[in-house]
Structure 1
């Protein structure tokens, strides 16, 4: 069964917008796992506009589920943080400094040598690696050559096309995931997945190991309640 990792960045965004400690990001991490999430995801950025580096250190100490840290490995501060905290998984994302949100995957051919070096470093520290990729065959094949344990399929395109034609929307992802599996790569997925489009993706590609969901889940939680929405997402993953 596909695992659900809850991205709690938006809790930190809300906290930082007002100051103080409401909502409590550490409590959000604890409650995510208490409510049934299989893991917690954070994406720290150098400007700490949402998750702060100290949050990451403290979260690692208090949760028992899997911890996934996403970020731009071209930032030395990110590299240092991951090697210090040693999460179960690091997801490498090709963000630029100041980027609002992730919007594309790695060019695994152009950055082959660089990714091979970064992935080797994190794996040597005992950290499972995943890299953000678009559902393009050349990028999948390139990912297989850099030594990563998993890929994370960037699903914004799927989410947008799903509203028009679900079968067409998922096709390139099915092809990419099939190819990735043939290389022995684990498969994660994330970005703009929600209660409307998640189950169809998982029914079509049931070998997806993990989905990471934050923005949509937190938006739904505002209406449905945090505990209830985690259970709804877990239910959406049952094929």
Structure 2
């Protein structure tokens, strides 16, 4: 079964909008794990627009499933991850002013940088993943960095699948086959939803984990968080 990691950035956004502690991020993390989620994902940004750096430390003792911290590996981020020692760190090349992650790494151009960063994390017992577009040469480049896993950036698939184009899955399937052959684990995330997750899962061999936040939280406004978590788990079996 593919693991479901719930990205809780949107809960932090809602909390921050009123300046208090409602909804409580730590309690939400406890609850979604109780409801069946197999991981918690957060993406602290330098401007702390949603996840605050203090949240990263507060969540550590409460995440008993898999703790996945995403982010651009600037020095402040690297030092924090090394202190917290989550299950996994996912490296994302997002600019400070990006609304959300919008591209994978150029694993060839940034190979030397990624090699050094990944080595530091792995020496500290932290599993690494890097965000990549569904391009075969970028998957090959990812292998050369020493990363444990890739995370396929799925926005293009989700957009085109929503327009009725099932062939949008093809480059993702091809990249997954290559990643498996190279010994890389496969994660995926960005704009995956209840509408497309089953089809995606069925076409990605050995998909280990999906990270879902925006769609899952939005769907939960109508259907309830416990119900939605279990709807995803059924689709991922």
Alignment-derived partner of residue 223 in structure 2: 224
Matches within 5 A, 1:1-239: 1-73=1-73, 75-238=74-237
How far apart in 2 are the matches of 1:141 and 1:62? 36
User: Structure 1 residue runs of 4+, over 6 Å off?
Assistant: none
SS of the aligned residue for 1:131 comes to strand
5+ residue gaps, structure 1? none
Query: Does the 8 Å CA contact 2:149/2:186 hold for their aligned counterparts?
Result: yes
SS of the residue corresponding to residue 84 of structure 1 reads helix
Count of aligned positions:
237
The secondary structure found in structure 2 opposite 1:108 is: coil
Distance in 2 separating the partners of 1:28 and 1:5: 13
Does the CA contact (< 8 Å) of 1:2 and 1:206 recur in 2?
Answer: no
Listed as ranges, the gaps of 5+ residues in structure 2 are none
CA contact (8 A) 2:9 2:50 kept: yes
Quick one: distance in 2 between partners of 1:43 and 1:104?
Answer: 15
Q: Secondary structure at the match of 1:101?
A: coil
Shift of 1:169: 1.0
Q: Secondary structure at the residue paired with 2:60?
A: helix
Q: TM-score, normalised by structure 1?
A: 0.98
Task: Tell me how large the CA RMSD over aligned residues is.
Answer: 0.8
Deviation at 1:103, TM superposition (A): 0.3
TM-score by length of 2: 0.98
